[in-house]
Structure 1
Amino acid sequence: MDFRVAHTWDGSPVGHEPARVGLEPGRGGVLLQVSAPFFNDPPAPPGAPGKPFSGLWDYEVVEAFFLNDITEQYLEVELCPHGQHLVLLLSGRRNVWKQELALSFKASRGETTWEGTACIPWSYFPPNVTKFNAFAIHGSKDKRSYEALYPVPRHELQPGQKPDFHRLEYFKPFSFNTLLGEEWKQPESDLWLTEKPDL
């Protein structure tokens, strides 16, 4: 499954080669593959490559969200060209209950492009994923650019509206069965079965 993040969050075409997000079966989970322009703006986060970094959304990232739209449980995976990552489990819009989970992620950069591959364990996905969206962010201050696979429709924009990647109503239908076959069933997750907020 391949997706192109070809629009800004509010529906304008991006002015560069779009970030690409690919999904394929992996050992014990899903391989999330990213191929994107490398802007090197803002500079690298001050965290070790291969480790979680809190607040990664303030840097250059490509993100994938996997949602159960009935329960509003969702997984957010953020990948940075400098090798840092951030995995969030949310129950209810913007309600993070687990974060900075471990992730096998490797990134490589050229002068103008970067690629990354992360293996997301099945235990990180909420039960019955039904919707998906992907995003890319880069740039600093007034040059900050927020891009979306499924943007807010132009006719629904409000005056003064700001980018918000947690507008779950704009996510689109998604099924892992497209990737893994009609007979496949999503493995149960101990993480989500024992959902309780970290205190």
Structure 2
Amino acid sequence: MEFKIEHTWDSLPVSHEPVTVRLKSGSAGLLMEVSAPFFNDPPAPLGEPGKPFSGLWDYEVVEAFFLSETTKRYLEVELCPHGQHLLLLLSGRRRVWKQELALTFEVSRTETKWEGRAHLPWSYFPPCTDKFNAFAIHGSEAKRTYEALYPVPQHEIQKGQKPDFHRLEFFKQLNLKVLMGEDWKQPESDLWMSTD
């Protein structure tokens, strides 16, 4: 599955080559691949590459959200071109209950592009994952740019509204059986069972 982030959060076209997010079946999980322009703005976070970094959303990142529409539980994956990552498990909109999960994440970068590969274990996905959205953020201060795969439609935008990636109502269908095969069933997650 391949997705291109071609709009800003408020449905305007992006002014550069779009960020591409690919999802592939991996061993015991999903492989998420990112191919994106490298803006190097803002500068790299001070955290060690390969480790979780709290507050990564304040830097240059590509994000993917995997949602169970019925329970409103979701996995938020943030990947940075400098090698840091942040994974959050949320139970209800903006309600983080677990964060800074471990992740196998590799990055390669040139002066103008970066690519990342992250292995997302099934245990991180909420049961019945069926919705998805992806985002990209870069730039500093007035040049800060927020992009969305499934943006807020123009007619829904209120005066003075700010970007909010937790607008779950704008997420769209994700059928993992397309990747995994018709007979596939999402493995149960001990991690998510601990929230019941």
TM-score category (smaller protein): over 0.9
> Under a length normalisation based on structure 1, what TM-score does the superposition of the two structures give?
0.98
State the distance in 2 between where 1:50 and 1:123 align.
20
Q: Which moved more, 1:172-181 or 1:83-92?
A: 172-181
Equivalent residue number for residue 173 of structure 1: 173
| Number of aligned residue pairs | 196
State the distance in 2 between where 1:121 and 1:195 align.
18
State the distance in 1 between where 2:149 and 2:136 align.
9
Shift of residue 181, structure 1, vs aligned partner: 1.2
Equivalent residue number for residue 35 of structure 2: 35
Report whether the alignment pairs 1:144 with 2:140.
Answer: no
Q: Following superposition of structure 1 onto structure 2, how do residues 1-199 of structure 1 map, counting pairs within 5 Å?
A: 1-195=1-195
- Identify unmatched segments of 5+ residues in structure 2: none
Shift of residue 110, structure 1, vs aligned partner: 0.4
Runs of 4+ in 1 over 6 A off after TM superposition: none
SS of 1:137's equivalent in the other structure is strand
State the one-letter code of the partner of 1:75. Answer: L
Deviations 1:129-177 (A, max 9, x none): 1100000000000000000000001111100000000000000011111
Aligned-residue CA RMSD in angstroms? 0.6
- Identify unmatched segments of 5+ residues in structure 1: none
State the distance in 1 between where 2:53 and 2:195 align.
22
State the distance in 2 between where 1:5 and 1:145 align.
12
> Under a length normalisation based on structure 2, what TM-score does the superposition of the two structures give?
0.99
Counting aligned pairs with the same residue, the percent is 71
Deviations 1:27-76 (A, max 9, x none): 11100000000000000000000000000000000000000011100000
State the one-letter code of the partner of 1:122. Answer: W
State the distance in 2 between where 1:61 and 1:187 align.
28
State the distance in 2 between where 1:176 and 1:45 align.
33
